[in-house]
A = this chain, B = another copy of it.
Amino acid sequence: MKNDLLLRVARGEKTERPPVWLMRQAGRILPQYRAIRNSISGFKELVETPELACEVTIQPVDELDVDAAIIFSDILVIPEAMGLTYEMVESRGPIFPKVIETANDVAQLLKGEAAADHLQYVYDAVALTKKELNGRVPLLGFAGAPFTILAYMVEGKGSKNFSAAKKMMYRSPELAHTLLDAITESTIAYLKRKVAAGADLVQIFDSWAGVLSMHDFRTFSLPYIKRIAQALQPLAPVTIFAKDAFHSLQEIAESNCDVVGLGWTMPVETARAQLGTNKVLQGNLDPCVLYADLPEIKKHCTQMLKTFGCHHIANLGHGVNPDTPLDAVKCFVDTVKAFRYDDN
């Protein structure tokens, strides 16, 4: 591989600068993405057509010169493969017309390999992208954490307080655990095939971890994330990003994961104090910093890089906002690429 910087850092090597990529880099920030997106019927056509998914996955590597590509897809392909179709509604986000309410609903879902069988288009997209990248940079795969997927399957959409998902957890904990188990088995089968198709690292996104108390996170989320990490780590490095689970960073770091992702509210100093200078951390600039002018972005970014020190994969603390100016994204990437640890 021509640029394996990210994989070397994930394996614990010291490098002269941190690698950099952005969550949602293959998306609306790029004019070439918007051009393709406007020429087709919708978001799902992009996800489900390997040639298109491949094309938009490689766009940020061409345009931004980032150190990794992340396969263009969605965490909601898993519930869909299990039997729960979603729709992507413009400017509102995903909607599930049918949601999970009863034990019978859960019993009817596919799980494990049977669910993973339905995602051939993802494996094809990964294999094609891997070939087209031709070793330029690593290709990242990903999946949602089981709690976050459960939340979507039960709520049917994003939520302010996730009261439907939590109702299930508090009123029918066995049902919640049965569903979490099915999602976990499906996700393991899915990620294994993604790695077999060519993904060089997998990231598990627990986007909604921050709505759980410490007790609930450790009961309903972390054990399932750990199972996935344990199953995948022999095959590829694993990144766990449980956004806003500030109370459980050590528990996450002690699981079978190579990289711990941090949201922007987690002070880097605190994370380093808890996890040590050798743990590989990913993050964590506030995506809204990219609304500032370029000198200000450079200042915030450099400060972050110095505070993390080495064993760091530079990224934002969450997905890049769709209305971020392209110049700002480039300034962020270029600042990281010009940085040297010797500069300290």
Q: Which chain A residues have a beta carbon within 8 Å of chain B's beta carbons?
A: 158, 160-163, 166-167, 169-171, 210-214, 216, 244, 246-247, 264-267, 270, 286-289, 291-293, 296, 317-318, 321, 323
Cβ contact within 8 Å between B216 and A171: no
Contacts of A296 in B (CB 8 A): 170
Bound: A342/B213 CA distance, A: 27
How many chain copies? 2
Bound: A71/B170 CA distance, A: 31
Instruction: Out of B158, B247, B265, B289, name the residue touching A214 (CB < 8 Å).
Output: B265
Cβ contact within 8 Å between A210 and B265: yes
List the B residue with the shortest CB-CB distance to A168: B291
Cβ contact within 8 Å between A247 and B270: yes
Bound: A270/B265 CA distance, A: 17
Contacts of A170 in B (CB 8 A): 288-289, 291-292, 296
Instruction: Out of B166, B247, B265, B289, name the residue touching A288 (CB < 8 Å).
Output: B166
Bound: A161/B319 CA distance, A: 11
Contacts of A323 in B (CB 8 A): 163
Cβ contact within 8 Å between A287 and B321: no
Cβ contact within 8 Å between B171 and A291: yes
List the B residue with the shortest CB-CB distance to A324: B163
Bound: A321/B161 CA distance, A: 9
Contacts of A266 in B (CB 8 A): 247
- Contacts known (A170-B288, A171-B293); A163 close to B265, Cβ less than 8 A: no
- Contacts known (A265-B247, A321-B161); A291 close to B210, Cβ less than 8 A: no
Contacts of A293 in B (CB 8 A): 171
- Contacts known (A163-B288, A288-B161); A244 close to B216, Cβ less than 8 A: no
A308 vs chain B, min Cβ distance (A): 14
List the B residue with the shortest CB-CB distance to A160: B158
Q: Which of A161, A170, A213, A323 has the most CB of B within 10 A?
A: A213
A272 vs chain B, min Cβ distance (A): 14
Contacts of A317 in B (CB 8 A): 213
Instruction: Out of B163, B267, B318, B321, name the residue touching A247 (CB < 8 Å).
Output: B267
Bound: A291/B234 CA distance, A: 40
18 contacts between A and B (CB under 8 A): A161-B287, A162-B288, A163-B288, A166-B288, A167-B288, A169-B288, A170-B296, A210-B210, A211-B265, A212-B265, A213-B264, A213-B265, A213-B267, A213-B317, A214-B267, A246-B247, A247-B266, A247-B267
Q: Which of A158, A246, A287, A317 has the most CB of B within 10 A?
A: A246
